[in-house]
Amino acid sequence: MKKKFIYGFIYIAMVLMPSPSYAQSFLKQLGKAVVKILEAPTQENTNSQQKVGQSKAIQEQKIQGPLYQIHATSETKTITLQGGALYMGNFSCGIAMIKSKKGWFAINKNGEKVFDLPAGYWPGDEEKSIHSEFDNNRLIICSETQHMLKINMAIIDNQGNIIKEFKDITGVTPFQNGVAIVKDEKYDCFYIDKDGNVLSRTLPVYESYAKPVLGYMREGMRRFYDSKIKRYGYCDEKCNIVIPAQYKGVGNFFNGLAKAKNDEDLWGYIDKTGKFVIDPMFSIEPGAFYNNYALVTDKSGKRFFIDQTGKFIWEDPANGKPQRIHDFVSGLDNGGYALWVYDRSLYIIDSSFKRRAKLAEVYETSGRITAYNNEWFQYTDEDNNCFLYDWNGKLLLKFGEMGKSSAFSNGICRNDDNYSDTHYYFNLTGEIIVQFKDTQF
């Protein structure tokens, strides 16, 4: 069978070959491939081997295969829309925003409609960029005005009630930890809380291409950027400055420490008073202190983990090879777990740096953790295939590409392939909880 296939392939290749010189190069490469194929064991030779190892193969398949499959159940809610679902948002605060040809509406996890957005409104900003996730039960929605550079904005709760409205503004950010930035008609920026009350008009606001940018908050500290002096600092939940702007670069706080870059372009770690507790010594930006360990890299590319005293705890055995390692991300075992690529294989290692489980063969450029909690993590490979594992290395679920499937949010993932009629939400065990279908006519 192999020989017939090879002869047929060579005949077609010779007919289509563009030039003799190209043919010579091509056939040289083809010859190497043919040798490999002919040297491989034939189906006949392997049949007996397969029968002998059949029992073992079945056991391995059970171990390696996904525990769950994506499937509809008797509880799956089907929603029929003219044109189908044009946009599906992530679930947040028990709500997901859906766009149809008739406008925007919200559903709960049972697929029941909770409310419709007022006509002409969208969840997002002045440029109609969509931000549909609720934060502290609040969402910002916008509508157009007669002035092309201005919009109207409203804050709603997760029942669709309007909390406060702002007229003729020129920009707005989505809420993050109960705070948003509004840019008024005079192009001045100010911070508001989740009910629309002004928190600060004096805290500096960083703008990228005239759009306000809100820093993330971790452990009660939010970073801000003072564009006048080109330095970062930190404020609290009420937008009061806690650490004045003084660093060329900063990260978020994890376990009481944040990375910060001094005027000599060296990174160290500061506490919540702004004091360096690990002296600036790293020329390459280090990682955050996930579960009391931070990943640092020297100029030669060697990777190390340090503890919160700055002590070097572990040197990556893969140093000198183009591998990669993920920070410790889970809260288990008083130190969590990390994903480690070594010799083209992906491992889970624990806080004592022992290999806990081997997941799959990967390359150094592949893979990232896209969602996680203390029980599971979502891993996306270099081909954007998604895998849900537990921290023992058990494959729970395998599903579509990122872009078609989202990261898990509140235990629910969405699949919204715009090139097919496949639009649905599914849970951690693969059960489709809500699906959308187009009308027949």
Phi/psi of residue 270, each to 5°? -115, 160
Structure tokens at 301: 């590319």
Contact 405, 415 (CB under 8 A): yes
- 53 assigned to some structural domain: no
177: containing domain: 117-214
pTM of the model: 0.80
How many Å apart are CA 181 and CA 240, to the nearest integer?
A: 15
Q: What is the pLDDT along the chain (441 residues), one digit of tens a residue?
A: 544 444 454 444 444 444 444 444 444 444 444 444 444 444 444 444 444 343 333 233 333 568 899 999 999 999 999 888 889 999 999 999 999 999 999 999 999 999 999 999 999 998 899 999 999 999 999 999 988 889 999 999 999 999 999 999 999 999 999 999 999 999 999 999 999 999 999 999 999 888 899 988 999 999 999 999 999 999 999 999 999 999 999 999 999 999 999 999 999 999 999 999 999 999 999 999 988 899 999 998 889 999 999 999 998 887 766 667 788 887 666 678 988 888 778 899 998 889 999 987 665 456 888 899 889 999 988 788 899 999 999 999 998 877 788 999 999 999 987 666 779 999 999 999 999 998 888
Cα dihedral sign, 308-310-313-318: positive
For residues 305 and 292, give the distance between their C-alpha atoms in angstroms, rounded to a whole number: 10
CB proximity list for 299: less than 8 A, separation 6 or greater? 283, 284
Count how many Cα atoms sit within 13 Å of the Cα of residue 48 in the half-sphere of its side chain.
3
Residue 265 lies in a domain: no
Q: Is residue 382 part of a domain?
A: no
Secondary structure E strands in 134-287 = 138-144, 151-157, 162-169, 171-172, 179-183, 189-193, 198-200, 206-208, 211-213, 217-218, 221-226, 231-235, 241-247, 249-250, 258-261, 267-270, 276-282
Q: Kindly state whether residue 263 falls inside one of the protein's structural domains.
A: no
DSSP 8-47: HHHHHHHHH---HHHHHHHHHHHHHHHHHHHHSPPHHHHH
- Report in angstroms the alpha-carbon separations of 430 from 95, 96, 103, 390, 417: 19, 18, 29, 14, 17
> Tokens representing 103?
């406008």
Q: Are 261 and 247 in contact (CB under 8 A)?
A: yes
Q: Helices H, strands E: what count in the chain?
A: 4, 36
Residue among 177, 148, 178, 147 nearest 163 (CA): 178
Structural domain includes residue 441: no
Residue carrying structure tokens 């649905």: 424
Phi, psi of 56 (to 5 degrees): -65, -40
Asked, for residue 339, whether it belongs to a domain, the answer is: no
The string of DSSP codes covering 352-370 is T--EEEEEEE--TT--EEE
CATH number of the domain where residue 194 is located:
2.40.128
219 falls within a domain: no
| Total count of domains within the chain | 1
